[in-house]
């Protein structure tokens, strides 16, 4: 397989051809500094949003070269977008961040054979071909189900021949589900009565392999609230991994394929249950604005994409009634971690809490630093393991302060990061759950309640 060639950019992907007013918006006020995890960790100006924007502006002005150092700095950024929430000037850091990374890949300042081959394999092949991704998922499931993973981990623990980075990476391998989304959810799922709405359900890529049960739960919750659910069996990656890692053309490619899968005009909403995906899916209108064939459909798509919690609150979801008595006789304590691209990217914070507070037999407590990044950030935990680990440990510490037995969150990357962080501490008393799974379980308990119960 040949290394990936740098991709040509559309005019709005380059820092030098970007609307200069976007770069000028930054007032250097510093409100972003205390919200930036990398700046707080290092105290270095270049590791802050303000510092990075200054570097971008220098490149746009031709005063600085687009160097390897700049490339490393932009990949040290988590892309958590907390700075956008804090910014009083409304700087569109997400647009700048993606343009900078696209320039880095176009110029090839970080190119090396291993990196190029890995990017081509993962971004160019695996995450643009859903059937190939599922085949890889089946192989990984067999590796885990046959006990090979335990054997490999024992060997890695006993030997120092394998690099430490490889050992850490293996420990982060997610558990693949025995059945994927298309095996759990029919293409069209209808409620018992007349549907109130018709919605499409996005099953994702990693979500499809690792959290297909959450996709099934989401479909069940939608049906329980009067939605007819359309779920195409073979779906493509949303493209967020590509856009956030400097490959806009690959992002456009999978976006077009997703648009072709759904009858966008016939649906009331297109539902996603993954925060990182949702933030990017809502940007299809911008991503394809120069595409004469897809621009109009992409704009309509962006208007209709809704996070599952956002949609349920908007349509007036039905709170579940209490089921049978609690096994312990007490209410479970639950806390909520806000995924960055849900609270900062999509500005959705109230709706998940509203769903969680409606759960019976649950006491909700607020998580300190709920909006602070957990360190997952797409593939950041692979590319920047040390900083990711520091943020992971900080998040676990805050969870422990709440005394909660359940942590709810709405993003697969955060889910894996918290599961791994708790496991590393040997903590088995805390469950990590998606709000849709908790709501689905409450509806099932309600349906299973004996008729004699009040």
The band of 170, judged by pLDDT with boundaries at 50, 70 and 90, is: confident
Mean pLDDT of 266-275: 98
Q: How far apart are CA 440 and CA 222, in angstroms?
A: 9
Q: Which stretch of 319-333, 348-362, 439-453 has the lowest confidence by average pLDDT?
A: 319-333
For 332-447, give the CATH class. alpha beta
Q: For the segment 298-307, what is each residue's pLDDT rounded down to a tens digit? A: 999 999 999 9
Helix %, strand %, coil % of the chain (to 5): 55, 5, 40
Q: How far apart are CA 347 and CA 281, in angstroms?
A: 14
**What mean pLDDT is reported for the chain?**
90
Count of Cβ atoms closer than 10 Å to residue 240 Cβ: 25
Please give the distance of CA 80 from its chain centroid, rounded to a whole number: 11
The band of 169, judged by pLDDT with boundaries at 50, 70 and 90, is: confident
Indicate if 332-447 has the same CATH topology as 11-107.
no
**Domain coordinates in residue numbering, the chain:** 11-107, 124-318, 332-447
Q: For the segment 181-192, what is each residue's pLDDT rounded down to a tens digit? A: 999 999 999 999
CATH of domain 11-107: 1.10.1060.10
CA distances, 222 to each of 40, 308, 336, 341, 347 (Å): 40, 8, 21, 22, 22
Please give the distance of CA 308 from its chain centroid, rounded to a whole number: 14
Q: For the segment 238-260, what is each residue's pLDDT rounded down to a tens digit? A: 999 999 999 999 999 999 999 99
Is 388 a residue whose pLDDT tops 90? yes
Q: In what helix (H) or strand (E) does residue 229 lie, and over which residues does it extend?
A: strand 227-230
Mean pLDDT of 209-221: 97
- Do β-strands 332-336 and 406-408 pair in parallel, antiparallel, or remain unpaired? parallel
């Amino acid at each position: 397989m040949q290394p990936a060639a740098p991709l040509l950019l559309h005019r709005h992907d380059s820092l030098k051809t970007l609307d200069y007013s976007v770069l000028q918006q930054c007032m250097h006020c510093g409100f972003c500094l205390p919200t930036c995890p990398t700046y707080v960790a290092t105290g270095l100006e270049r590791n802050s949003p303000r510092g990075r924007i200054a570097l971008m502006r220098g490149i746009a002005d031709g005063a600085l070269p687009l160097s390897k150092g700049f490339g490393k700095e932009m990949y040290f950024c988590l892309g958590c977008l907390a700075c956008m929430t804090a910014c009083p000037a409304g700087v569109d850091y997400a647009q700048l961040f993606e343009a900078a990374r696209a320039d880095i890949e176009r110029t090839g300042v970080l190119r090396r054979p291993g990196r190029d081959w890995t990017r081509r394999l993962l971004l160019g092949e695996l995450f643009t071909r859903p059937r190939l991704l599922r085949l890889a998922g089946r192989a990984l499931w067999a590796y885990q189900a046959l006990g090979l993973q335990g054997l490999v981990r024992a060997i890695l623990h006993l030997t120092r021949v394998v690099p430490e980075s490889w050992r850490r990476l293996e420990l982060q391998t997610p558990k693949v589900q025995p059945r994927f989304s298309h095996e759990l959810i029919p293409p069209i799922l209808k409620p018992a009565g007349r549907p109130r709405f018709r919605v499409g359900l996005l099953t994702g890529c990693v979500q499809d392999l690792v959290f297909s049960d959450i996709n099934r739960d989401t479909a069940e919750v939608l049906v329980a609230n009067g939605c007819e659910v359309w779920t195409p069996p073979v779906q493509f990656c949303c493209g967020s991994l590509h856009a956030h890692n400097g490959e806009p053309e690959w992002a456009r490619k999978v976006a077009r394929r997703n648009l072709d899968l759904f009858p966008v005009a016939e649906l009331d909403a297109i539902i996603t249950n993954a925060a990182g995906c949702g933030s990017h899916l809502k940007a299809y209108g911008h991503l394809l604005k120069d595409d004469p064939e897809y621009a109009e459909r992409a704009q309509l798509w962006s208007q209709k994409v809704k996070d599952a919690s956002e949609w349920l609150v908007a349509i007036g979801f039905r709170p579940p009634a209490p089921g049978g008595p609690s096994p312990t006789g007490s209410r479970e304590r639950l806390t909520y971690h806000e995924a960055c691209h849900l609270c900062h990217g999509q500005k959705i914070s109230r709706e998940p809490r509203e769903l969680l507070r409606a759960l019976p037999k649950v006491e909700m407590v607020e998580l300190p630093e709920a909006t602070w990044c957990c360190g997952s950030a797409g593939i950041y935990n692979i590319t920047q393991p040390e900083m990711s680990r520091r943020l992971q440990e900080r998040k676990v510490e805050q969870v422990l302060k709440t005394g909660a037995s359940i942590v709810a969150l709405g993003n697969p990357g955060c889910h894996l990061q918290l599961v791994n962080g708790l496991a590393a501490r040997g903590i088995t008393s805390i469950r990590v759950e998606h709000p849709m799974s908790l709501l689905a379980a409450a509806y099932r308990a309600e349906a299973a309640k004996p008729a004699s119960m009040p």
